[in-house]
């Protein structure tokens, strides 16, 4: 069965090799293509998809594979120029040489000429689907896992007659969900308490249905809110909301970069949305993850691990998928931690069950404190010594690092 990441460690190696191919390390532009075919097959195998490169019967095919019972033959082009009509027509011929129900997939890292797109769309029966570098990176990282990507692309080709659908247009169901700018009918006993003196606490949004709700400040009186239907931008003053990232099933808190781009988590990958375009900046995630901004300006992702990839880790993100990164293992029981925050540029606070831990990075030294909460999912960094966490039963807790004693202690703000 496809759809699940079977071998995350192998996928990380494939992503690293893709970065080396992109930088032409150990290959030339001419020899890169042969390496690329094998890399595509290796990536699909990490998801439990049986893929074979360089098939030589009935016309050479770069990669053959099947997803959920649907058979595909794939041609890959990694060239400077855009793929033209002739190369797409060659793939169409390969498809016609095979059993009906076999689909052709062209993957062109440089995109397509307008004539190639027009000829496929306006031709006879649609037999091929066209992918570009954005599709490939989203699939490779697990931002859009292979079974989902091919299903979305096939649906657009079947129902709309579109052989080529850019990534931002794949998620036609992305929308602003139902929500309310008013408080819910009832609040817990005791109402709301401010996290710090002089800060006013009030409900600004309610009735948002989402299992992976996340928020991030987006300017005065503005928030980014992660919902099941999209990441939305909310204006609290005007009481309006609009789609900020048109992709469904995102999770946890997004981050806004200095250039205005939005980083977000989805499935097994990390995406970036800016000026109407999706790019992929990280992937091969396995567990409960969150984006973590370091005070030095770098961005990291915390991953608490899973059965197929035991052990928590924190990874520094590069500018592009496959850039040399820093992945550091953390001494924390697999699948036990929930979230993390940098308290200083070299100290990471990890919280979960059974404890809170501050890890020195990269040294690995730790200080631990028994957790006073169950399921402490939320965390806000208040200053260099204090964070606010949220857990079950709507409890809030401050975690304070004592500079004199070198330990951390906790104080309940309210229950």
Domain of 127, CATH number, reads 3.40.1350.10
Assigned domain for 240 exists: no
Which residue did the predictor score with more confidence, 154 or 383? 154
Average pLDDT over residues 362-375: 78
Assigned domain for 333 exists: no
Residue 324 token pair: 């040399």
Average pLDDT over residues 135-164: 96
Tell me if 78 sits within 8 A of 33, measured CB to CB. yes
Tens digits of per-residue pLDDT, 2-20?
568 999 999 999 999 999 9
Assigned domain for 136 exists: yes
Average pLDDT over residues 292-309: 88
Assigned domain for 112 exists: yes
Judge whether residue 409 has pLDDT over 80: no
What's the rounded Cα separation, in Å, for the pair 309 and 108?
32
Helices 133-141 and 32-45: angle between axes, nearest 10 degrees:
40
Q: Are strands 240-245 and 231-235 parallel, antiparallel or unpaired?
A: antiparallel
Largest CA distance in the chain: 76
Average pLDDT over residues 33-56: 93
Assigned domain for 184 exists: no
CA nearest neighbour of 271 among 317, 315, 337? 317
pLDDT computed for residue 183 by the predictor: 83
pLDDT-based confidence at 324, cuts 50/70/90? confident
Q: What Cα–Cα distance (Å) separates residue 266 from each residue in 167, 226, 232, 256? A: 14, 10, 15, 16
pLDDT-based confidence at 148, cuts 50/70/90? very high
Phi, psi of 165 (to 5 degrees): -125, 110
Average pLDDT over residues 378-384: 74
CA nearest neighbour of 116 among 152, 91, 151? 91
Total domains in the fold of the chain: 1
Q: Which residues of 220-243 are buried (b: 16+ CB within 10 A; e: fewer)?
A: eeebbbbbebbbbbbbeeeeebeb
pLDDT-based confidence at 415, cuts 50/70/90? very low
Identify the burial level of 276 via C-beta atoms within 10 angstroms of its C-beta, where 0-12 means exposed, 13-18 middle and 19 or more buried.
exposed
Residue 189 token pair: 């006993």
Average pLDDT over residues 82-106: 92
pLDDT computed for residue 414 by the predictor: 41
Judge whether residue 120 has pLDDT over 60: yes
User: Which residues, 6 or more positions from 316, have their beta carbon under 8 angstroms from its beta carbon?
Assistant: 298, 299, 300, 325, 326, 327
Assigned domain for 139 exists: yes
What's the rounded Cα separation, in Å, for the pair 277 and 167?
8
pLDDT-based confidence at 401, cuts 50/70/90? low
Assigned domain for 12 exists: yes
- Residue 158: give the domain boundaries: 8-170
pLDDT computed for residue 141 by the predictor: 97
Q: How many CB atoms lie within 10 A of CB 26?
A: 11
Assigned domain for 365 exists: no
């Amino acid at each position: 069965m496809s759809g699940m990441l079977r071998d995350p460690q192998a996928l990380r190696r494939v992503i690293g090799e893709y970065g080396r191919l992109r930088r032409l390390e150990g290959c030339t532009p001419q020899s890169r293509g042969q390496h690329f075919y094998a890399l595509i097959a290796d990536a699909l195998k990490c998801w439990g998809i049986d893929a074979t490169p360089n098939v030589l019967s009935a016309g050479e095919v770069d990669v053959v594979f099947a997803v959920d019972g649907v058979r595909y033959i794939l041609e890959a082009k990694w060239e400077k120029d855009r793929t033209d009509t002739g190369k797409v027509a060659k793939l169409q011929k390969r498809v016609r040489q095979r059993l009906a129900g076999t689909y052709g997939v062209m993957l062109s890292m440089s995109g397509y000429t307008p004539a190639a797109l027009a000829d496929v769309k306006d031709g006879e029966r649609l037999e091929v689907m066209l992918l570009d570098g954005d599709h490939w990176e989203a699939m490779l990282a697990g931002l859009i896992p292979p079974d989902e990507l091919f299903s979305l692309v096939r649906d657009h080709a079947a129902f709309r007659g579109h052989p080529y659908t850019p990534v931002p247009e794949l998620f036609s169901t992305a929308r602003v969900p139902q929500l309310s700018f008013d408080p819910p009918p009832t609040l817990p006993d005791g109402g709301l308490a401010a996290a710090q003196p002089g800060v006013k606490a009030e409900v600004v949004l309610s009735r948002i249905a989402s299992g992976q709700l996340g928020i991030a400040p987006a300017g005065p009186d503005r928030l980014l809110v992660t919902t099941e239907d999209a990441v939305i931008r909310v204006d609290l003053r005007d009481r309006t909301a609009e789609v900020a990232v048109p992709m469904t099933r995102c999770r946890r808190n997004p981050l806004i970069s200095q250039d205005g781009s939005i980083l977000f988590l989805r499935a097994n990958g990390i995406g970036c949305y800016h000026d109407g375009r999706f790019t992929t900046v990280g992937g091969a995630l396995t567990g409960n993850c969150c984006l973590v901004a370091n005070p030095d300006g770098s961005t990291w992702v915390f991953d608490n691990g899973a059965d197929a990839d035991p052990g928590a880790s924190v990874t520094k993100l590069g500018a592009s998928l496959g850039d040399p990164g820093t992945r550091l293992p953390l001494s924390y029981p697999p699948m036990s931690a929930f979230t993390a925050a940098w308290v200083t540029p070299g100290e990471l606070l990890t919280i979960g069950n059974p404890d809170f831990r501050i890890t020195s990075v990269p040294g690995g030294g730790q200080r631990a404190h028994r957790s006073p909460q169950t399921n402490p999912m939320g965390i806000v960094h208040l200053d260099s010594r204090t964070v606010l966490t949220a857990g079950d039963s709507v409890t809030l807790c401050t975690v304070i690092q004592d500079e004199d004693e070198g330990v951390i202690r906790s104080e309940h703000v309210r229950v």
